[in-house]
């Protein structure tokens, strides 16, 4: 947690084995895993991140925890695109409160449209904005752009045995004191303490088993260490394998030889693949040059951000794209590593002087926007390719639509206007949106491959995450998303999972399962 980049191989930069740097908490996994391939359709480009470790992505995620709002749960009703969720914000609001209370989220209630407030006393006090955030806020407000406290799953007060953050290390390295939420320092130990949890690591699940009545009876998996095929029996089967892997398991489960896979009478398993829209703008701001250098790392992530502020303009038809985005901002005195130096070349005292002069005077603006599901973005089984365990792999097709490209154009224009207001100069290259937009899957927010709905004809699971076709099979990851709001998905995944868990528990208590 507390080592310096200067003490790591290659100054801590990413490598094929450690995409996010030497100290990243991902023990095993990444974009490419040896002998565990995935494929992409001709003309498509998609990146699939997989975390092969206990606790999964919760060990290294950014902890950004924004609630979806009323517009996000009913997007079709608002603009006629995509589909509505079978639940409303009011249905999920109590579960957001319970999740935020359990997890610990800092932030502020601001009363902004489609950026819901939390219940009284739920949120932790957010950390103070740093100098560069305050400077940005002052300039942005002159343009009507809000810069407000961010919401992150970081404790700023003690909760149970977890201590508050002491602002000392990047959260992506993992957090041994439990201040930055991850399941390995909270949910999993708590579950183990009940004496009712058995953890089986190294288990590559590839099939859900059914009994003679058509109910799930367990799963088949491969012991990755020995290669042996094993089974785990269950009264209820819950898949939380990530959107891609859950779709892969369902499509590879073919009861009675049915080629469409399990829980797929609607034909929607693998369809509606979405990711967050991403692009960036960077700037150099002379007003921040030469200020005293001190440790302002803080929570090593967002203290502040720009929520989408143009819903009224959008509803009035004054924007040429239908959904929103938020802006994650970066700056300050980050830990030096092996990287560029704002175009400076050379060596010696002159280089050191110029680098130090600009240190802390660079700002970054990162777009995180909503993608609307489209017919050209989906995953399916590649019947010609198998992984080292003999399991057929996923094949991805992916395409952005004009909606997302127009959103990128507007973001780029708005941030350039803001940089001008700050007296800065843009240091990123102006290019067409099609070249600036992120690759599908790159933001690691892929969702939607087994969406929730009101009808078995058009969706995979019901409003409680239960598969329409298999009464005791539940999906509790991003696969059930009907839309990909610009809000990071983890908080909503957690809230829906808690809600589904109580539904399962009630059915077990009643003897229904």
pLDDT digits (tens, 9 = 90+) for 116-139: 999 999 999 999 999 999 999 999
Instruction: Write the CB contacts of 21 (distance below 8 Å, at least 6 apart in sequence).
Output: 5, 8, 12, 13, 14, 172
Which of the residue ranges 45-54, 183-192, 347-356, 455-464 would you say has the lowest mean pLDDT? 347-356
Q: Annotate 169-216 with DSSP letters as a single string.
A: S-GGG--TTS-B--GGGTHHHHHHHTT------SEEEEEEEE-TTS-E
Is pLDDT above 70 for 200?
yes
Instruction: Write the CB contacts of 431 (distance below 8 Å, at least 6 apart in sequence).
Output: none
Q: Sheet harboring 39-40: ordered strands across? A: 39-40, 392-397, 378-386
Report yes or no: 393 and 382 within 8 Å, Cβ to Cβ: yes
Report yes or no: 155 and 124 within 8 Å, Cβ to Cβ: yes
**Residue 395: what pLDDT?**
98
Beta strands in 224-275 (DSSP E): 229-233, 237-239
Which of the residue ranges 55-69, 287-301, 402-416, 472-486 would you say has the lowest mean pLDDT? 287-301
Instruction: Write the CB contacts of 19 (distance below 8 Å, at least 6 apart in sequence).
Output: 26, 30, 31
Angle between helices 89-103 and 490-510 (to 10 degrees): 100
Report which secondary-structure segment, H or E, holds 490.
helix 490-510
Is pLDDT above 90 for 345?
no
**Residue 206: what pLDDT?**
98
User: What whole-number distance in Å separates Cα of residue 167 and Cα of residue 250?
Assistant: 42
**Residue 16: what pLDDT?**
86
**Residue 156: what pLDDT?**
98
The pLDDT confidence band at residue 341, using thresholds 50, 70 and 90, is low
Is pLDDT above 80 for 302?
yes
Which residue in this structure is represented by tokens 């790159």?
442
The pLDDT confidence band at residue 495, using thresholds 50, 70 and 90, is very high
pLDDT over 90 for what percent of the chain? Answer: 88
pLDDT over 70 for what percent of the chain? Answer: 98
Q: How many CB atoms lie within 10 A of CB 235?
A: 13
**Residue 164: what pLDDT?**
97
Buried b (16+ CB within 10 A) or exposed e, 101-130: ebbbbbbeeeeeebbbebeeebbbebbebb
**Residue 344: what pLDDT?**
67
User: What whole-number distance in Å separates Cα of residue 193 and Cα of residue 48?
Assistant: 34
3-state secondary structure of 415: helix
Which residue in this structure is represented by tokens 């908080």?
491
The pLDDT confidence band at residue 290, using thresholds 50, 70 and 90, is confident
**Residue 338: what pLDDT?**
52
User: How close are the terminal C-alpha atoms of the chain, in Å?
Assistant: 44
Is pLDDT above 80 for 340?
no
pLDDT in tens, 418-450: 999 999 999 999 999 999 999 999 999 999 999
Report which secondary-structure segment, H or E, holds 314.
helix 311-315
Is pLDDT above 80 for 305?
yes
Is pLDDT above 90 for 402?
yes
**Residue 322: what pLDDT?**
97
Which residue in this structure is represented by tokens 């398991």?
249
CA torsion through residues 237, 214, 261, 469, sign:
negative
User: What whole-number distance in Å separates Cα of residue 438 and Cα of residue 429?
Assistant: 15
Is pLDDT above 90 for 472?
yes
Q: How far is CA 129 from CA 125, 149, 258, 260, 328, in A?
A: 12, 8, 56, 52, 14
Buried b (16+ CB within 10 A) or exposed e, 34-67: eeeebebbeebebbbbbbbbebbbbbbbbbbbbb
Is pLDDT above 80 for 283?
yes
DSSP character at residue 112: B
Which of the residue ranges 262-271, 331-340, 361-370 would you say has the lowest mean pLDDT? 331-340
**Residue 17: what pLDDT?**
87
Tell me the two tokens of residue 129. 């904005």
**Residue 167: what pLDDT?**
93
**Residue 75: what pLDDT?**
98
Q: How many CB atoms lie within 10 A of CB 317?
A: 7
Could you tell me how many residues make up the chain? 513
Is pLDDT above 80 for 145?
yes
Rama region for 150: left / alpha / beta (φ>0; ψ in -120 to 50; rest): beta
Beta strands in 388-453 (DSSP E): 392-397, 425-426
499: nearest Cα among 150, 99, 52, 41:
99
The pLDDT confidence band at residue 259, using thresholds 50, 70 and 90, is confident
- For residue 394, the cross-strand partners are 381
User: What whole-number distance in Å separates Cα of residue 65 and Cα of residue 52?
Assistant: 23
Report yes or no: 148 and 155 within 8 Å, Cβ to Cβ: no
If you average pLDDT over residues 12-38, what whole number do you get?
Answer: 91
pLDDT in tens, 46-102: 999 999 999 999 999 999 999 999 999 999 999 999 999 999 999 999 999 999 999
If you average pLDDT over residues 382-403, what whole number do you get?
Answer: 97
**Residue 335: what pLDDT?**
80
Report yes or no: 162 and 124 within 8 Å, Cβ to Cβ: no
User: What whole-number distance in Å separates Cα of residue 401 and Cα of residue 273?
Assistant: 13
Report which secondary-structure segment, H or E, holds 133.
helix 131-141
Supply the mean pLDDT for the chain. Answer: 95
Is pLDDT above 80 for 172?
yes
If you average pLDDT over residues 266-286, what whole number do you get?
Answer: 97
Q: How many CB atoms lie within 10 A of CB 506?
A: 12
Which residue in this structure is represented by tokens 């599901």?
373
């Amino acid at each position: 947690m507390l080592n310096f980049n200067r003490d790591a191989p290659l100054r801590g930069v990413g490598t094929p084995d450690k995409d996010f740097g030497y100290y990243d908490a991902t023990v095993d996994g990444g974009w490419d895993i040896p002998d565990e391939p995935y494929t992409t359709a001709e003309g498509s480009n998609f990146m699939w991140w997989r975390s092969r470790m206990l606790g999964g992505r919760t060990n290294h995620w950014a902890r950004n925890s924004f609630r979806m709002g009323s517009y996000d749960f009913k997007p079709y009703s608002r603009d006629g695109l995509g589909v509505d969720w079978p639940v409303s914000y009011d249905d999920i609001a109590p579960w957001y409160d319970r999740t935020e209370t359990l997890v610990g989220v800092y932030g502020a209630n601001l009363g902004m449209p489609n950026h819901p407030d939390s219940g009284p006393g739920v949120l932790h006090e957010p950390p103070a904005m740093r100098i560069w955030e305050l400077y940005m806020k002052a300039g942005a407000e002159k343009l009507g752009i809000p810069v407000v406290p961010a919401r992150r799953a970081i404790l700023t007060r003690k909760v149970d045995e977890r201590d508050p953050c002491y602002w000392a290390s990047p959260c992506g390295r993992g957090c041994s004191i439990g201040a930055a939420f991850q399941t390995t320092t909270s949910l999993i130990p708590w579950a183990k303490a009940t004496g009712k949890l058995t953890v089986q690591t190294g288990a590559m699940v590839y099939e859900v088993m059914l009994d003679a009545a058509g109910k799930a009876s367990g799963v088949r998996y491969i012991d990755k260490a020995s290669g042996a095929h094993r089974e785990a029996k269950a009264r209820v089967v819950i898949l939380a394998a990530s959107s891609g892997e859950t779709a892969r398991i369902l499509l590879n489960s073919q009861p009675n030889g049915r080629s469409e896979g399990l829980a797929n009478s609607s034909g929607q398993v693998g369809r509606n693949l979405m990711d967050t829209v991403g692009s960036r703008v960077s700037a150099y701001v002379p007003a921040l040059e030469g200020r005293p250098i001190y440790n302002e790392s803080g929570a090593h992530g967002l203290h502040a951000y720009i929520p989408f502020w143009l819903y009224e303009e959008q509803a009035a038809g004054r924007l040429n794209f239908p959904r929103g985005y938020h802006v994650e901002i970066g700056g300050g005195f980050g830990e030096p590593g092996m990287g560029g130096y704002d175009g400076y070349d050379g060596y010696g005292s002159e280089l050191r002087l110029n680098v130090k002069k600009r240190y802390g005077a660079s700002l970054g603006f990162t777009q995180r926007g909503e993608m609307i599901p489209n017919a050209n973005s989906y995953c399916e089984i590649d019947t010609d390719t198998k992984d080292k365990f003999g399991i057929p792999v996923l094949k991805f097709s992916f395409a952005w639509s004009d909606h997302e490209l127009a959103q990128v154009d507007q973001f780029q224009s708005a941030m350039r206007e803001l940089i001008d207001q700050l007296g800065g100069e843009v240091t990123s290259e102006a290019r067409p949106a099609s070249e600036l937009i992120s690759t599908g899957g790159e933001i690691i927010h892929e969702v939607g491959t087994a969406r929730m709905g009101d009808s078995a004809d058009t969706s995979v699971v019901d409003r409680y995450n239960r598969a329409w076709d298999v009464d005791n099979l539940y999906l509790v990851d991003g696969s059930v998303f009907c839309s990909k709001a610009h809000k990071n998905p983890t908080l909503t995944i957690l809230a829906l999972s808690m809600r589904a868990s109580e539904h399962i528990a009630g059915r077990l208590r009643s003897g229904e399962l």
